[in-house]
Structure 1
């Protein structure tokens, strides 16, 4: 089996799907890495060659590979993907449904991390990236505030990203309130550092009326689904000028009605709403190591017979 590793083409993307250490661990398969795929995190082509990979161009990868791996879907058309090939990485199924269906019709299988269950942490790259994203998003939002002293934070969602944002708030000495979608999440939220807990979205408007937060991190979404609308126009009207909202799930519909993907906007009432589609790329080395470990594990899990053969 031949595995091809693409150089990322999404805007500002600095991660790589496989790092040299994990290439070295894929005994039994051949790996072709696109030229300069790892340069943004300090790996040059010689590092991959030393790990046992070949270095080639994009056309060669699509011509020869049985499996092609990426972090984010390429920005170019996948016309070169062949019948019998598998493409593995984040697939963005909500926005790329037609592309994925078209590939399937041509005999190309798409494996997306969006569908990997939480019960498989070894291959769950989405959870690993969400943990990084939650912390980075909190830090980014906090930098947009002009506040000395503790920040009153509200974290919407108690999944991987939400819990990470709660922990980041607690590490700053801030005062985070967490909102989940069922009461059983309260103990987890408190353990990560939440000072208070809202058991469901029904409690949100009352909370905003009683205690206006300085910073809101939106991280409420089930993988592969659209994010629920939690901050509607009424909720936004209750916020003070200068409040910052970081919506992590804008590409899945957003928790905030005013979010614009990949933009920072200031509303007429002075509330700032921001989003970027790729918070983990702000920590590219950490994120690449975690993503690569999941990719190597998923390859072994999905294609076990390839790893029992001699290279």
Structure 2
């Protein structure tokens, strides 16, 4: 079997497999091709790939020859014209937001595995790209906020006077949120956290943060770690409680998302007006609409002196470790679709294989994506 590693678009500095990870495939009787410069932004030179046994090829050659393509970001329409029928493609394609694109890929006879659709079960943890990348994003979000914030994070007591610690508010206590809490605490900030899932209170408090409690949240135990839609009454109470915390916050990190739906608007323009100039907001939900009024994806905007950064791909700013973790997730997943001789073996009886497959045999096969079409 031939596996091809494509170079990502310029906005994504990651690569699907680093050279040392590709080596493990080669040992399993698999030929690996990498597009020239595929790992350059992640500090993995073409020479390192060659030393690992990977052949460097052009994009067209990889598309035409490969049985399995590794590309984190979606392929272009031009790419589709060069692929063999039945080619397997593995990446992170957000099919619940790109259902028409998945329909095009089905017509092109691709078998598509979108790793963001992997069931969030104990067995699938080693393949959970959302968690591995969100962990980096939460860490990076706080560091970015610290560089943009015009004041100190920790408390300082000096002969010239005392500096009070920054107050950080984190919305959403998933993987990204909890890492943001831990990082902000290490930098000396006072941290509050809001989440619709009361079950995360203990984790938040164990990191030294205060949990904002709002009664009446809908049960999210069956949502695989995500938030769920809440009642209008709960949203009203949440907005009132959040408004108090937003007004006294210096840094806000927002991470709240609902699979397949627009991100919930949690911080209104009126709340922004209550913040002091110089405050910073990092909206990690920007790609699905954002949690903050006025958020624009991949853009930094200002509202009355408040810096609002819309960025859902912060993991890409730490490309070496992000690629390392992503590549390990990919290798663990590929073990489920390959036999010991390195041949493709698509076992759709496996719940992880089935749950992450979006297109196969000329059709969209994922129930949730089909429902959107």
Same fold, judged at TM 0.5 (above)? yes
Partner of 1:3, secondary structure, is strand
Aligned mate of 1:283, from 312, 315, 318: 318
Aligned mate of 2:171, from 156, 166, 181: 156
Matched, 1:22 2:21: yes
- Looking at structure 2, the residues matched to 275 and 96 of structure 1 have their Cα atoms a distance apart, in angstroms, of 20
Matched, 1:132 2:128: no
The answer to whether the Cα contact below 8 Å between 1:5 and 1:32 also exists between their aligned partners in 2 is yes
- What residue is the counterpart of 1:68 in the other structure? 69
Deviation (angstroms), 1:196: 3.3
- TM-score, normalised on structure 2? 0.77
Deviation (angstroms), 1:46: 2.6
Structure 2 gap segments, 5+ residues each: 156-164, 218-234, 345-373
Matched, 1:175 2:179: no
The answer to whether the Cα contact below 8 Å between 1:67 and 1:87 also exists between their aligned partners in 2 is yes
Deviation (angstroms), 1:76: 6.1
- What residue is the counterpart of 2:327 in the other structure? 292
Q: 1:197 to 1:209 in 2, by over 3 A?
A: closer
RMSD: 2.1
Deviation (angstroms), 1:238: 2.8
- Looking at structure 2, the residues matched to 228 and 260 of structure 1 have their Cα atoms a distance apart, in angstroms, of 14
- Looking at structure 1, the residues matched to 78 and 200 of structure 2 have their Cα atoms a distance apart, in angstroms, of 42
Matched, 1:5 2:9: no
Deviations 1:31-71 (A, max 9, x none): 11111211223322232222222211111111111110022
Matched, 1:81 2:89: no
Q: 1:165 to 1:129 in 2, by over 3 A?
A: same
Structure 1 gap segments, 5+ residues each: none
Partner of 1:190, secondary structure, is helix
The answer to whether the Cα contact below 8 Å between 2:250 and 2:279 also exists between their aligned partners in 1 is yes
Please say which structure displays the higher CA radius of gyration. 2
- Looking at structure 2, the residues matched to 20 and 206 of structure 1 have their Cα atoms a distance apart, in angstroms, of 49
The answer to whether the Cα contact below 8 Å between 1:115 and 1:224 also exists between their aligned partners in 2 is no
Matched, 1:246 2:282: yes
Deviations 1:75-96 (A, max 9, x none): 6643323320111111133543
- Looking at structure 1, the residues matched to 341 and 205 of structure 2 have their Cα atoms a distance apart, in angstroms, of 45
The answer to whether the Cα contact below 8 Å between 2:35 and 2:58 also exists between their aligned partners in 1 is yes
Matched, 1:257 2:258: no
- Looking at structure 2, the residues matched to 52 and 85 of structure 1 have their Cα atoms a distance apart, in angstroms, of 22
Q: 1:140 to 1:153 in 2, by over 3 A?
A: same
Runs of 4+ aligned residues of structure 1 deviating over 6 Å after TM superposition are: none
Matched, 1:102 2:91: no
- Looking at structure 1, the residues matched to 61 and 343 of structure 2 have their Cα atoms a distance apart, in angstroms, of 25
Partner of 2:150, secondary structure, is coil
The answer to whether the Cα contact below 8 Å between 1:91 and 1:110 also exists between their aligned partners in 2 is no
- Looking at structure 2, the residues matched to 106 and 75 of structure 1 have their Cα atoms a distance apart, in angstroms, of 12
Deviation (angstroms), 1:305: 5.7
How many equivalent pairs are there?
Answer: 307
- TM-score, normalised on structure 1? 0.91
